[in-house]
Structure 1
Amino acid sequence: MVTGTEEKKTGWWSIAAAGAGVIALCYGFARYAYGLFVPRFSETFGLTTTAVGVLGGLSTAGYGLGLLVSPATSRRSARGTVILAGASATIGLALMAAAPGVVVFGAGIVLAGTGAGLVSPGVAQLIGETVGSPVRARAQTWANTGTGLGLAASAFTPLLAFGWPAVWWAFAVIGAGMTVLAWRTLPRTPWSPEIPELAEPTAPEITAATGRRAAPLVVNSVLIGATSAPYWTFSNSRLAEAGLSPVAATWCWATIGVAGLLGGLAGRAAGHTGLRNANLAAWTLAAAGIALLALPRPGLAGALLSSALFGTSYMALTGLCILWATRVFPARPARGVTWSFAGLGAGQTAASPLAGAAGSAIGLAAVFGLTGLAALLAWSQLTPRLAPPSS
C-alpha cells in the first residue's frame, strides 16, 4: 500500500498523468478514432452502411464487456486493471492494423473496446486507493481528461497521406509505450486496513440505501449519454450541412479534445462550490454548446465555440460522475464508475438511432436544438432526491 510519505514522493499528479495517458489510448485511439476513418475502412473492406454499424456495435459490445468485468478485476488489483486495459487496447489496435479481412478487424475492435470499458473504473479505483482525500477529487477529474487528450491527438490523423494501417500501427506502438509507462509508474495497491474506507472489504457493498443513492447518478449518466450521442455522431454532418469544409470540421474535432482538458478543473470547482453546483454549471455549458449547432449558419466561429463548450462540459460532466460515484461507493469506486459509465453507454446507444431518425424527419438543426433543451433537464437536480450527495 502506498503510504502518505510514498504518496508525496510519487506525487498524485504522476498517478493522474499515467492514468490520463492510458485513458487517452483507450478512448481517443481505441474507441473514438474509429469514426474518423469509417470511409477508409469501408473502401478497404468493401463495407456497407449496415456493416459499418455492426462493427460499431462490436466496439460497444467490447466496451460493455470491459465494464462488466472491471469491478472484479479492480477489486483484485486496480493497477493490474489499468495495465490490462492498456494491453487490450494496444493488441486490439494492432489486430485492426494487421487484419487481412473483416473478421480479424472485428476481433480487434472488440478488444480495443474492452480496454475502454476497463480503464475508467480501474483508474478511479487506483486513485481512490493511493491518493489522499485532500487532492483525490482533482486527481480523478484530471485523469479523466485523458479522453480529450486522445481526441486532440487523433483529430488530424485522417488528413495524413499515410494509409490507415500505418496510422493504426502508430497508435499501437504508442499504446505499447503508454502501457509500459503505466506498468513502471503506477503504484502497487494490495489491500490494507490502514485506509479506513477499505477496512471492511467483506462488508455488504449494495444496500437499499446505496441503491437509492446510486439511482440519481445513473439517471444523470444516462442523460449525459443521450445528449452527447447526437453530437458525437452527427456534429460533422451538421457542420457540412451548414457549409463548413472537412478541414474546418477536423479543427472542430481537435477543439473538442483540447478544450476537454479544461474539464480537469471540475474537481477543484466541486471542492469550492459543491458537487451539485459544479455539475449544474457544466450542464448549462453543455446545453449552450449543443444548441449552437441549431443555428441556421453557425459559421466557423460558432462551430469552434460549440466544440469548445461541448468538449469542456463533456469531460467535466464525466469527471464529476466519477466523483459522484466515489461518494456513493467510497470503498469500491470502480463499482460506482461502472454503474455510471454503463448508464452513459446506454444513453448513447439509445439516442444515436433516435437522433438519426429525427434528423431525417425534422432536420439536424432541430435535433440539436431539442437536445440542448433536453440537457437543461439536469436542473431537476435542484430537487434533493435527484441531487448528488453533499459528501
Structure 2
Amino acid sequence: MKRSLHAAPSTATPLFTVTAVALIAATYGLARFGYGLFLPSFSESFALTPMIAGLLSSGASVTYCISAAFGFRYAPRHPRFTTILAGSTATLGSGGIAAAQGTSSFSIGVLLAGMGAGFASPALVELVQRNVAPAKQNRLQSVVNSGTGFGVVAAGALALQLGASWRAAWILIAVITFTAMVAVLRADISRTEALSGVPRREDVSAHTGGSSIRGLRWPMAAAFVFGVGSAAPWVYGRSLLEDVGGMTTETSATVWMALGAGSAGAVLLAPWLARHSVKITWYVTVSATSAATVAFALAPTLPALSLATAGLFGLAYTAASSVLIIWTSFTAANSAAGTSILFTCLVLGQALGSTVTGALVESTDLIFAFVTAGVLCLFSAFGATTQRTAPAVQQGDAAPSKIESGQYRPQKYR
C-alpha cells in the first residue's frame, strides 16, 4: 500500500470525535436500522405485508452494498466528498420517508436512506487517519464504531416521545443526519492534507488479489450466513414483541433501546477480542447472537427477559462484526479491502435473511421464523476453521519486524 506523510500544525479536537460518532449514529442507528423500529407504524400507513417489508429491507441492504463499494474505492482520496454523500443520501431518504404518501415513494425513501451508512464508514475511516496521530487511531476507530448503538438508543427514544407521529420522527432524523454531516466537515482539521506523522493512504485498491480472495473464502461464507441469521431481530424485532408478545409501543421501544445499549457496550469487549484467537471469539459471539435470537422468540411476553435478550443480541452482534474486522488481518494481504469484502457479504446475507424471514412469517409465524434464523446464525460458527497464526502484512508496508516484536496492530475498519 502506497503511503506518504503530510504536515499539519495540530491534531483534531474532541469535537471531531463527537461529530464522527454522531454521523455513524445517524446513518446506521437512525436512518438504516430505524426502519425495523418503525415497521409496525409503517405497516399501518402503507400496504406492507411481512413479505414486502422483508423485500424492502433487502433492497436497502443492496443499496448499502453499492454505496459501500463506491466508498471503499473513492473515500481514500475524497473522504470529504464521500462524507457529503453519506449525509446527503441519509438525509434525503429520511425526508422522503417522512413525506411519503404512497408505498412507492416510501420505498424510494427507504432505499435511499440505507445508502448513507455505506458511504459513512469508509469516509470516516479515512478522516480519522488524517486527523489523529497513529498512537490514538485504533482507540478512536473503536469509539466511532460504537456510534451505531447510540443511534439505536436515540431511535428508541424518538419512538417513545413521538409515538404514532412517525413522520415527525423521520423529519427529526433527517435534521440530525444533516447536522452531523456538516459538523464532521467543520471539525475535520485535515482538509487537504493529513497530520504530520500520520500515515495516509494515497492509492488503495478496491479489491484484494486472487490469493487474498481465496484466503477469505471461509470468512466470506461465515459472514454471509451470519448475516442471513441475524437479520430477523433487526427487521422484525418490534413486530414480534407487539404482535406476539402484546407489548405496548412504549415497552417495545424500550426493549429496542436496550438492544442499542448492548451494541454500544460492545466497545468494552475490545481487549478480550484482542487477547483470544478468531476461532474462539467467533464461536462465542456467534453462539451468543444465535441464543439471543432464539430467546427473543420464546419470551416476547416477558418484558424483563426481552430487555436482557435484546441487550445480549446487540452486544453479541456488534462484537461479532468486530471479529470480522480482526479476521481480515489474519487472512487478507490488504485488511481494508478484506474488511470491505466481509462486510459486503454480511449485509448481502442480511438482505437474503430479511426476505427469507418475511416469507417464513407469512407461511408459518414469527416464532418459527426467529428460531430458524437463530439456527442459521449458529451454522456460521463453523466458518472459523481456517486462520493464520499471524496477521497478514499490509501491502507495501515494512511490517515484518513489527510483527516479530509484537508491536504490530492491524488498522481497524468498520
Quick one: higher RCO (CA 8 Å, sep 6+), 1 or 2? 2
**Structure 1's 79 and 111: CA in aligned 2 closer, same or farther, altered over 3 A?**
same
CA contact 1:141–1:319 (8 Å) conserved in 2 = no
User: Which letter does structure 2 place at the counterpart of 1:313?
Assistant: A
- Residue in 2 aligned with 1:108? 109
- After superposition, where does 1:251-270 map in structure 2 within 5 Å? 251-270=254-273
CA contact 2:299–2:306 (8 Å) conserved in 1 = no
User: Which letter does structure 2 place at the counterpart of 1:269?
Assistant: W
Aligned partner (choices 364, 368, 371) of residue 370 of structure 2 = 368
- After superposition, where does 1:49-198 map in structure 2 within 5 Å? 49=49, 52=53, 55-99=56-100, 103-128=104-129, 131=132, 134-159=135-160, 160=162, 163-186=165-188, 187-188=190-191, 190=193, 198=201
Residue 366 of structure 1 deviates from its aligned partner by: 4.2
Residue 234 of structure 1 deviates from its aligned partner by: 2.9
- Residue in 2 aligned with 1:311? 314
Residue 213 of structure 1 deviates from its aligned partner by: 2.9
CA RMSD for the aligned pairs?
3.6
User: Which letter does structure 1 place at the counterpart of 2:235?
Assistant: T
CA contact 2:285–2:316 (8 Å) conserved in 1 = yes
> More displaced, 65-74 or 380-389?
380-389
Unaligned runs of 5+ in 1: none
> More displaced, 380-389 or 211-220?
380-389
Length, aligned pairs only: 386
**Structure 1's 189 and 304: CA in aligned 2 closer, same or farther, altered over 3 A?**
farther
Residues of 2 paired with 1:21 and 1:328: CA distance? Answer: 32
> More displaced, 284-293 or 52-61?
52-61
Q: TM-score, normalised by structure 2?
A: 0.78
1:204-256: CA deviation from partner (whole Å, max 9, x where unpaired): 95222211233233223213311211222333343342454433222111110
> More displaced, 252-261 or 219-228?
219-228
- After superposition, where does 1:315-354 map in structure 2 within 5 Å? 315-325=318-328, 333=336, 335-354=337-356
Aligned partner (choices 200, 214, 217) of residue 215 of structure 1 = 217
User: Which letter does structure 1 place at the counterpart of 2:224?
Assistant: V
Percent sequence identity over aligned pairs: 26
Residues of 2 paired with 1:279 and 1:222: CA distance? Answer: 14
Aligned partner (choices 272, 283, 287) of residue 284 of structure 1 = 287
1:270-308: CA deviation from partner (whole Å, max 9, x where unpaired): 333355544433223223322323536762222111101
1:120-168: CA deviation from partner (whole Å, max 9, x where unpaired): 2322344455555555443333222211111110114334157333222
**Structure 1's 170 and 52: CA in aligned 2 closer, same or farther, altered over 3 A?**
same
> More displaced, 350-359 or 168-177?
350-359
User: Which letter does structure 2 place at the counterpart of 1:27?
Assistant: Y
Residues of 2 paired with 1:134 and 1:277: CA distance? Answer: 27
User: Which letter does structure 2 place at the counterpart of 1:289?
Assistant: A
Residues of 1 paired with 2:104 and 2:384: CA distance? Answer: 49
Query: What is the DSSP-based 3-state SS (H/G/I as helix, E as strand, rest coil) of the residue aligned with 2:75?
Result: helix
- After superposition, where does 1:227-266 map in structure 2 within 5 Å? 227-240=229-242, 241-266=244-269
CA contact 2:73–2:205 (8 Å) conserved in 1 = no
**Structure 1's 184 and 277: CA in aligned 2 closer, same or farther, altered over 3 A?**
farther
Q: TM-score, normalised by structure 1?
A: 0.82
